[in-house]
Structure 1
Amino acid sequence: MKLPDGPKISPRSLGHQFETNPLGFMDAMSDRYGDIFTITADSAPLVIVSNPEGMKQIFTNAKEITASGKLNQGGAAIVGHNGLLALDGLPHRNRRKLLMSPMRGTQTSTYGRHICKITEKVMNQLTLSQSFLAYPTMQKITLEVVLPSLFGLHEGERYEQFRQLFSKLINYARSRWLEISLSYPFLKRDLGRWSPWGYWLDLQRQFDKLLHAEIAERRQQVDSSRTDVLSELVFAADETGQPMTYEYIRDLFPSLLFGGQDASATAISWSLYWVHSIPGVRERLLEELDSLGESPEPEKIIALPYLSAVCNETLRIYPTQVVTFPRLVESPIEVMGYKLDPGTVVRGCIYLAHQREDLYPQPKQFKPERFLEKEYSPYEFLPFGGGVRRCPGEQLALFEMKLVLATILSHYQLALAHKTVEKPKARGVNYPPASGLKMVMLGQRPRQERSPQLVTSST
């Protein structure tokens, strides 16, 4: 086997470079080694591919290159041992199908109006003429948006309990304290809730208690009209035809929560940055939104071509996944002219694929027009990954992103608090603005500037 060229680097150094400047590291590797290279940081070589044809080979040769769940076991302490990332084969296909049906079902006018309403509620809490951090503000919105789709909860005591607990869980999962505990096994000891690992376990126990109570109520009071993910799972069968166990149900939620809040909040924050940084983008978006007339339905808003192009360009520059989930070579195969032996780990680099000059001229520039002028293949534009590990919440995420952005632009006047160039910073697998994106609330958008209003204004 002759592997592609690449750097030989220690795991510690690799981790440090990814933590301090991950995208810069990827850019440097691409500049030096091209669109396929090998990172040798431990016993198993890691081949990184950013060529669209190479991506296609990785995703379509499923027998030779498997999306093995065992490669994702490092995150099991956070996302669960029975979650989608850890499963393979029939169990993975079965539970992925169970999740996708209810998430697609939320893309309705009713849920769209809920997204707009939550966005206005959170934005109205901001102080006029005061600065605020866009990223944590978008996190508040996306957390309240995801609760109905996942759990069917809109209000009430248990809704508040879940909302507050999820905020703690998600923030602590991204904290330095938990990272240290996971890095050093001897620190994974339950010394009470005041110890780093003990606090994490206490949060998980609180989640178990709430979820157990909610599942028990669903089973006692059957409501066939509910379409949320939890209701679907409570009465679903696993791949053997048996009812889903509590552990199976519970472990499917962490990755959905992290993606539903962190990934969506990251994408919306970057869209706000670009819209308010590049001359003419905001004005063109408002002109398109205003063309819909009075109180447009969510379905019409999400179909707007320039709004879609802005969201796609945001996801191109900083995709929700920088690299695909790892794949394992199970039998000898040739990828881009290199023969890879079993045991080799392969990952597609989505970020580098989106930075290709041959596909996206001036790739560092924010140019939504490129998505109006050309249709890209799923191996050229893949912000949510590809193959069997493609994000199951992709359509819901885009639905939410468009409506939140449209609501904010139509109802409020914002400005960036400073002119410095925003840089991404790793937060888990996401890369939000390093500063949190400081903006200023200038006030409501004057009515004489907007003939239409989003549907929430009349509800």
Structure 2
Amino acid sequence: MLPPGPGLPSPLQMSLYMADPLSFLRKQRKRHGDTFTLRMSGMGEFVFVSAPEDIKRIFNAPPDALHAGEGNDVILPLVGSSSLVMQDGAEHIRLRRLLLPPFQGERLNTYAGPMREVAHASLEQWPVGKPFPLLPRMMSLTIEILLRSVFGIEGQEELALFARRFPRLVDSIASPLYLLPALSGVDVFQKVPWLRASKMKREVDEALYALIAHRRAQPADPRRQDMLSLLLESRDEAGQPLTDRELRDALFTVIVAGYETTAIGMCFTVERLLCTPEALARVHEELERVVGGEEIQAEHLGQLEYLDAVIKEALRLRPVVPLVSRRTKVPFELSKYTLPPETMLVPGIALTHLREDLYPEPDRFLPERFLGKKPDPYAWLPFGGGSRRCLGMALSLFEMKVVLATVLRRAKLRMASKRPIHMVRRSIMFAPSGGMPVVLDEVRPRSSQPQKQVA
């Protein structure tokens, strides 16, 4: 027997969830407890969980007990069948080992300089003195960082080509017109209403395969530290490299998983800081103390402890991805229930982050929760967890610190109005309402430049 849930008709449950996911989920947890079942029209039954002990059991389950790839079918047409997020079992382990090195340790430090320079250049283009949505600016910034650090692209013409194509394609799948049929297993890129999106996808694929072929034809250069160069050199235990298809799907997955999510996370962090002046003042004090008159360097980031806590608290309160999913392949025991095979099991990230027993006054922004302590991986999970935790977690947090430190030191920002920013659904993510309207009152000069005010 499945856990209890609302008795509403499944089409109505689906409609209420799509209209306001977080509000609907919070109501169901309050009414039915930590574990409940939703019935979605055309998609079946979903068992939601939010208790850390259940989430731990899920994240630590043997790979043959729970499959995650089947829960990601909604993005299969975009990322491809060889994508890490679509794999389970031994193939997932093989791909993860191949893809992990560019995302680890000292490798990240090589990206700090390019990230900082992209942030400076972007900031110089922001309008001064009039409202503008911050999210599109952050998205342009993150796509350029990924193109430089992931793809290793430096030429302005090639950068502009990819920077135009990717956002248009990703925007095309943010619409409910894509999401609803995709959730039902339809490959929309094969259907007439999405012919324009299908053409964009073909253009992006052609450009990616051309880039891969060009780089394969070049001699290996140990000085190159971009991710594509490192992935081209990767070998599995049998000595085999990644195929062109695996490289294409890996690059596409990094863009899909790391471009919008990081931009949205930075917007929500700025929003929380602008609405909490004492926290913003403390960030400025820390930046002045740690960085002083220098430019942000990789070695500064470990000392920015309060900024790190601010980012973690913002991601707790405003999780970009509200849930992850697994499909049971064997009878699976939770704390109170034994779920039959082929049950869709959903750790509710947003629900867990708002538990009062884990986070007293859960709706308040309190960065101090994360000062001097490591987050519980079963209570703070904006990047998922276990062997399926987002491969780009370290890169995303690193990028957020570099970009936010750079921007906050120079930009005097304020909210464009007193209207609160809400979390609204954007495809399978949450994003700030209205694109997060702000006003830039002043751009202070760079540390390395003569002191002059930009008006």
**In 1, Cα distance between equivalents of 2:187 and 2:342:** 30
* Residue identity in the other structure for 2:347: G
Contact 1:323 1:349 in 2 (8 A): yes
Cα separation, partners in 2 of 1:375 and 1:302, compared to 1, 3 Å: closer
1:5-20 aligned within 5 A: 5-20=4-19
**In 1, Cα distance between equivalents of 2:153 and 2:87:** 28
* Residue identity in the other structure for 1:360: Y
Contact 1:36 1:50 in 2 (8 A): yes
1:8-407 aligned within 5 A: 8-41=7-40, 44-62=44-62, 65-104=65-104, 107-179=107-179, 182=182, 188=188, 196-225=193-222, 226-237=224-235, 241-292=239-290, 293-295=292-294, 296-324=296-324, 326-372=325-371, 374-407=373-406
> Secondary structure in 2 aligned to 1:40?
strand
**In 2, Cα distance between equivalents of 1:301 and 1:243:** 34
Cα separation, partners in 2 of 1:20 and 1:457, compared to 1, 3 Å: farther
Aligned-residue RMSD, C-alpha? 2.6
**In 1, Cα distance between equivalents of 2:317 and 2:407:** 21
Q: Which of 58-67 and 429-438 deviates more? A: 58-67
Cα separation, partners in 2 of 1:181 and 1:338, compared to 1, 3 Å: closer
* Residue identity in the other structure for 1:262: E
Cα separation, partners in 2 of 1:391 and 1:10, compared to 1, 3 Å: farther
> Secondary structure in 2 aligned to 1:369?
helix
> Secondary structure in 1 aligned to 2:440?
strand
The match for 1:421 is 420
Q: CA deviation at 1:253?
A: 2.5
Give the aligned length: 447
Q: TM-score, normalised by structure 2?
A: 0.91
> Secondary structure in 2 aligned to 1:396?
helix
Cα separation, partners in 2 of 1:240 and 1:427, compared to 1, 3 Å: farther
Q: CA deviation at 1:365?
A: 0.7
Contact 1:302 1:403 in 2 (8 A): no
Contact 1:416 1:439 in 2 (8 A): yes
Q: TM-score, normalised by structure 1?
A: 0.90
**In 2, Cα distance between equivalents of 1:403 and 1:355:** 27
Contact 1:410 1:454 in 2 (8 A): no
**In 1, Cα distance between equivalents of 2:24 and 2:413:** 33
Q: CA offsets per residue over residues 172-230 of structure 1, 9 Å max, x none?
A: 22235544664799995768xxx642212211221222122212221221233223232
Cα separation, partners in 2 of 1:273 and 1:74, compared to 1, 3 Å: closer
**In 1, Cα distance between equivalents of 2:321 and 2:243:** 30
Q: CA deviation at 1:76?
A: 1.2
**In 2, Cα distance between equivalents of 1:294 and 1:303:** 16
Cα separation, partners in 2 of 1:32 and 1:45, compared to 1, 3 Å: same
Q: Which of 431-440 and 246-255 deviates more? A: 246-255
**In 1, Cα distance between equivalents of 2:379 and 2:184:** 38
Cα separation, partners in 2 of 1:4 and 1:454, compared to 1, 3 Å: farther
Q: CA offsets per residue over residues 247-302 of structure 1, 9 Å max, x none?
A: 22212223211222110011000011111001311111100000022315233135
**In 2, Cα distance between equivalents of 1:265 and 1:102:** 20
Cα separation, partners in 2 of 1:416 and 1:68, compared to 1, 3 Å: closer
Q: CA deviation at 1:237?
A: 4.3
Q: Which runs of 5 or more structure 2 residues have no equivalent in the other structure?
A: none
Cα separation, partners in 2 of 1:15 and 1:207, compared to 1, 3 Å: same
Contact 1:331 1:341 in 2 (8 A): yes
**In 2, Cα distance between equivalents of 1:46 and 1:165:** 35
**In 2, Cα distance between equivalents of 1:165 and 1:7:** 42
Q: Which of 85-94 and 104-113 deviates more? A: 104-113
Contact 1:178 1:196 in 2 (8 A): no
Contact 1:302 1:402 in 2 (8 A): no
The match for 1:434 is 433
Q: Which of 418-427 and 68-77 deviates more? A: 68-77
Cα separation, partners in 2 of 1:232 and 1:320, compared to 1, 3 Å: same
Q: Which runs of 5 or more structure 1 residues have no equivalent in the other structure?
A: 448-452
Q: CA deviation at 1:239?
A: 6.9
Contact 1:187 1:197 in 2 (8 A): no
Contact 1:285 1:306 in 2 (8 A): yes
Contact 2:209 2:248 in 1 (8 A): no
Cα separation, partners in 2 of 1:185 and 1:283, compared to 1, 3 Å: closer
Cα separation, partners in 2 of 1:12 and 1:227, compared to 1, 3 Å: farther
Contact 1:320 1:384 in 2 (8 A): no
> Secondary structure in 1 aligned to 2:219?
coil
Q: CA offsets per residue over residues 28-67 of structure 1, 9 Å max, x none?
A: 1111112111123367532111000011111112256312
Q: CA deviation at 1:355?
A: 0.6
> Secondary structure in 2 aligned to 1:252?
helix
What percentage of aligned pairs have identical amino acids?
33
Contact 2:102 2:108 in 1 (8 A): no
Contact 2:74 2:183 in 1 (8 A): no
Contact 2:25 2:351 in 1 (8 A): yes
> Secondary structure in 2 aligned to 1:283?
helix
**In 1, Cα distance between equivalents of 2:195 and 2:78:** 14
Q: CA deviation at 1:144?
A: 0.8
Q: CA deviation at 1:373?
A: 6.2
Cα separation, partners in 2 of 1:133 and 1:182, compared to 1, 3 Å: same
* Residue identity in the other structure for 2:146: V
Cα separation, partners in 2 of 1:107 and 1:318, compared to 1, 3 Å: farther
Q: Which of 142-151 and 246-255 deviates more? A: 246-255
